[in-house]
Structure 1
Amino acid sequence: MRVLISYDHNVPSELIRDALTVGRALMEKGHTVAYVVGDPVAFVDYAGSWTPNELHQAPVLHPPPHLVMKRAPIDGFADLMASSGFEDKRTLMTLASMWHRQIEALKPDLIIGLCAPVLWLVGPHHAPTVALGNGLTLPPVLGTSFPRLSVDSTPLADEELMLANANATLARFGHASLAAVSDVVAGCTSILYGLPAFDPYLQLRRTVTAGLLGEQPAPAVPPAEQRLAVFLDVHCPGIEMIILAVAGFDQIPLDIYVSGITLSMRRFLEQQPHITVWSEHSALLEQAVKASALVHHGVQDVAQRGVSLGRPQLLIPWMRDQEILNYIIGWMALSWMKSPSVSIDEMANTFRDLLRDPSLSVAAQHHARQLANTGMPDALPDIVERIEGLARPSGVVLPLSIPAGKVLTVAT
């Protein structure tokens, strides 16, 4: 079976790692996997030592300019659709045309999209399409649309306009219209994974999570000797101050992984005798059991590992989805939050105090045992099995994306 895997250009970093996990599992079963991503160079950095056999450039929008008058933050999946191209008919038609040609060239038997609304619109007309995601990135349908994360937020675009743009795009390719914006997701097979406790839409869900992706809850006694595991992103504002705080906190051994790390930053960290610099995110995540506490920006895969093991966590969020996760897990009382803009001394002192607070460790161990008692499975085998069952039978040919006799043009 030939599988195409892609994700939108502004997805959380953990979703990229999840795409790698699913693709690797499919390849181990003998399937061919072709990744189509917006930034192939960054994708290879995320992949680490494992290199996919096919990697292609995806049609994506340019990042928005850094203006003083910024747009409102994305607050729900409808806003994500707007920022992905649905708010402008010309843009959406261009992206859809490029996706049509990309899919026709690769000829996949099945398509997997992670938080990829344009691909979810186009993909089902070529091959069975899976909408794969965790609680934040795969929303439930609410009426004809999707629920918002904040009741007082302003939509980025009118949903009737986005629906009209989507239907105009589908009509140009000879496909039937959608009845509602929510049909973009409804036209795919949805597979949800991840901790229910991390799902901001949990109370509105009708589907059940398939489990934790790539692991099962495994509470572990904290190590006798204190040690920190730190997961950072070089794009975080104030990352230099955080790095200096890490370097200055030399009271215990420390393991660190920095996504997109620069050569000078790596050399600086490697000169610190108490620091071990890791080149792969997954490698350090596997060693998290040896850590007394985890420090990260608020990414779901690291937070999930921390809850599964029973480790206190320090969150340093700088993106909207990370702030949402920090808010969601606040009731668990196993984590602290710190702004990336605090001083070097304050951040270093926070590392120290995090390890000294026994209530955090007690709460973390409690939730790890509770999670283990639920018997939540590893979702990966089930996801692979469901994907294999969805592939279209050999010999089935879908209609051409552009009807014969029609010439594709892009209208304004």
Structure 2
Amino acid sequence: MAKVGRTAGLIGAAVGVLAAGAAAGVAVERQVIGRRSGQRAQLEAEPFGSLRGTPHVFTADDGVELYVEVDSLKRSRRPEPAAPKRGRLRRKAQAPLEDLTLIFLHGYGLNMDCWHFERRDLAGIGTMVFYDQRSHGRSGRSPKENVSIEQLGRDLYGILEKFAPTGPVVLIGHSMGGMSIMALAQAHPELFGDRVIGVGLCSTSAGGLDKVPIALPGRIGMLVRTLATPTVSALARIPDVVERSRKAGTDISYLLTRKYSFGSEVPPAYTEFVNEMIAATPISVIAEFFPIFTLHDKYGALEPLQKVECVVIGGDKDHLTPFEHSEEIVRHVPGAELVEVANCGHLGLIEHHREFTAALLGMIERAELALGQT
């Protein structure tokens, strides 16, 4: 059984969660990697997971209960995030739009807490709504037949109708969250330019992910991708073995998380935080969601985004949704702002949060300005 656990964990780490941007975990001997106790010393300590809003439970159209938190507008002036490393000037603070609502959508294998820095630094800009996507975080488990990008778009529509029934709305999505926004645009294009005034797409793709190699470049990486879906499905059939392996293999999962989430040196706490979110996602959820990204194709749904202020942000070292995918989105959304962040992996919203927050703030302010001119 120990050998099966090590093998299952190794395959899960090398294939399954690499596609999600982290590791499913493996069983390894401690002396292979060694403990990283010395790495825990860091320059900045951040209370990840400590920012909480008013909790709600929203029932989706198929009965799945989604966990939601709402941060009400509390400050009379919007924040001024630190200028990004590239030297963009700070914008002058101005009075927030009192009825503005921002809805944040997280990515595959994560939960709402991945928006920690944006939640902290954009507080006061408007009412902010965060929710755990179905089968993730504190939300209920989705029926397997309803695991699709289209269903995630329907979930978002319900959240918007319930928690932002009136007033302007800005949608901000990371990875799978950005895909959910595209699904909403496909199903309800009439919302864009009317209720929805701004969109932020972070480290995401509108399609073609089946052409992105996994783990290694070229043909070998494409072979790994071909084997990924059946391998993850096989692992999901022995969840107890895999989950024990994940708990045992913290060192390997830590290293893989760091490699596939970030493109630069980050404090160890950042990697620990992401690793914990990934580890909390059951292997069966990983297996159910993984195939939908190969099928994802929403280039035809991007036209409504031309009616709103839109910013597309990506990292130059993102191995999961390469920056070329951000460029392709902008080619389909003329007028959208394209922001490339240097030395940035898939989790740029954590790794280079200042740059991401500054780009999102710029989009929001332009959207508000355009609204005031109509």
Q: Give the TM-score taking structure 1 as reference length.
A: 0.33
Structure 1 or 2, whichever has the larger Rg, is: 1
Q: Give the TM-score taking structure 2 as reference length.
A: 0.36
User: Higher helix fraction: Structure 1 or Structure 2?
Assistant: 2
